[in-house]
Amino acid sequence: MRLVQFELSNGQRRVGVVDGERVREVVGAASVRELALAAIEAGVSLVQQVERQGLGTDHDYPQLLQDLRILSPLDHPDPAHMLVSGTGLTHLGSAATRDKMHQHTVDDATLTDSMRIFQWGLEGGKPTAGQAGVQPEWFYKGDGGIVVRPGRSFPLPPFAEDAGEEPELSGLYVIGPDHTPYRLGFAIGNEFSDHVMERKNYLYLAHSKLRACSFGPELRVGELPQHLSGTSRILRDGTVLWEKEFLSGEANMCHSFENLEYHHFKYSQFLRPGDVHIHFFGTATLSFADGVCARPGDTFEISQADFGAPLINGIAPAEAAFQPGAIGTL
């Protein structure tokens, strides 16, 4: 089952089940979060809760996408209660990409930090079920305020040095009343980042991640195939500037999803009932590694057949939110 959140022409919200080129409303559901909390309370799966509530009016899915009325597939009415985070060096091949960015001298006897943490993942990232494996790289990206709905452009702040895509899987979670994180499913995402800033110094990684992101348009409910293959492309002036296959799924990763989830939710501050979490699982495919520099006016398109419609976002310059010396005093 694939779910979307969307707006009617009058601005009212709905949840829908994707059925080909139609979207059928889930009766009585205004948000996926509410639907998930109802499923938790009833002790049923998300699919069962949809079936319990039933389906109603149907809509033209391509038209909803064209009209930019499709929302991100999970959100929170208070953006401060939506945490966006991620992890890196999780995919086979990702270390080679990262290593190019951070290795300034060649010394066969010395591993870069990137290669070292990747090696740790290969050796201990897929422990026996129920056991903790080696912890991965982890980063904070922002709250719900940095999420851009499908079809809209990423804001590029004036201090940014790069506008780089990162095609990734994202896990979508709601925290239950008993402090248990519940995974609703997965979505494809674009973990938009500043790779020029990151390359200057690895300690700038945290800064480079504080950018907008997008995921969706669809939430794929349930487990994933072990092997997933998608396409990441950049369009400029209507033509393809860059295009490459990206691989994901546990068959292409050095960590299990269970291990990555454990090392996020082991922190008690991430277990506040009712909160929403979006967690990006990393990638091994970047246009930046191929020397491509995206710019305002370009369009990112990330597609993977198991997730339905592609995720499309542009890039647009944004005004500075703050200026040096603008702190107020009390």
pLDDT tens track for 241-275: 999 999 999 999 999 999 999 999 999 999 999 99
- Decide: 285 and 228 in contact? Cβ < 8 Å: no
Q: Kindly state whether residues 90 and 150 are assigned to the same domain.
A: yes
325 lies in some domain: no
pTM summary value: 0.93
Domain range for 34 is: 1-71
The CATH code of the domain that includes 83 is: 3.90.850.10
Given this model, what pLDDT does residue 118 score?
83
**Cα distances (Å, whole numbers) of residue 260 to 246, 254, 266:** 20, 10, 10
136 lies in some domain: yes
Given this model, what pLDDT does residue 308 score?
97
Segments in the chain below pLDDT 50: 101-106, 108
Q: What sign has the CA pseudo-torsion 20, 22, 28, 33?
A: positive
Given this model, what pLDDT does residue 202 score?
86
Domain boundary among 50, 71, 92: 71
Tokens found for residue 151 = 């079809």
| Cα separation, 288 vs 232, whole angstroms | 12
Please report where in the chains the tokens 């940095």 appear, as a residue: 146
Q: Kindly state whether residues 56 and 159 are assigned to the same domain.
A: no
| Cα separation, 175 vs 36, whole angstroms | 10
Domain boundary among 19, 38, 71: 71
Q: What is the pLDDT of residues 79-129, one digit of tens each?
A: 999 999 999 888 886 555 555 544 444 454 567 888 888 888 888 889 999
Given this model, what pLDDT does residue 148 score?
98
Given this model, what pLDDT does residue 112 score?
80
Q: Which amino acid is at 273?
A: P
- Please count the other Cβ atoms lying within 10 Å of the Cβ belonging to residue 279: 27
Q: Kindly state whether residues 179 and 165 are assigned to the same domain.
A: yes
Phi, psi of 145 (to 5 degrees): -70, -15
Q: Which amino acid is at 111?
A: L
User: Domain total for the chain?
Assistant: 2
Domain boundary among 71, 100, 132: 71
Given this model, what pLDDT does residue 97 score?
54
Q: Kindly state whether residues 179 and 83 are assigned to the same domain.
A: yes
Q: Kindly state whether residues 160 and 205 are assigned to the same domain.
A: yes
Given this model, what pLDDT does residue 104 score?
45
Helices (H) and strands (E) counted in the chain, each on its own, are 8, 17
- Please count the other Cβ atoms lying within 10 Å of the Cβ belonging to residue 299: 17
Q: Kindly state whether residues 272 and 296 are assigned to the same domain.
A: yes
CA atoms within 13 A on the CB side of 299: 13
244 lies in some domain: yes
The 8-class DSSP code of residue 269 comes to G
Q: Kindly state whether residues 52 and 87 are assigned to the same domain.
A: no
Q: Kindly state whether residues 175 and 264 are assigned to the same domain.
A: yes
326 lies in some domain: no
Q: Kindly state whether residues 85 and 52 are assigned to the same domain.
A: no
Q: Kindly state whether residues 107 and 155 are assigned to the same domain.
A: yes
- Please count the other Cβ atoms lying within 10 Å of the Cβ belonging to residue 107: 8
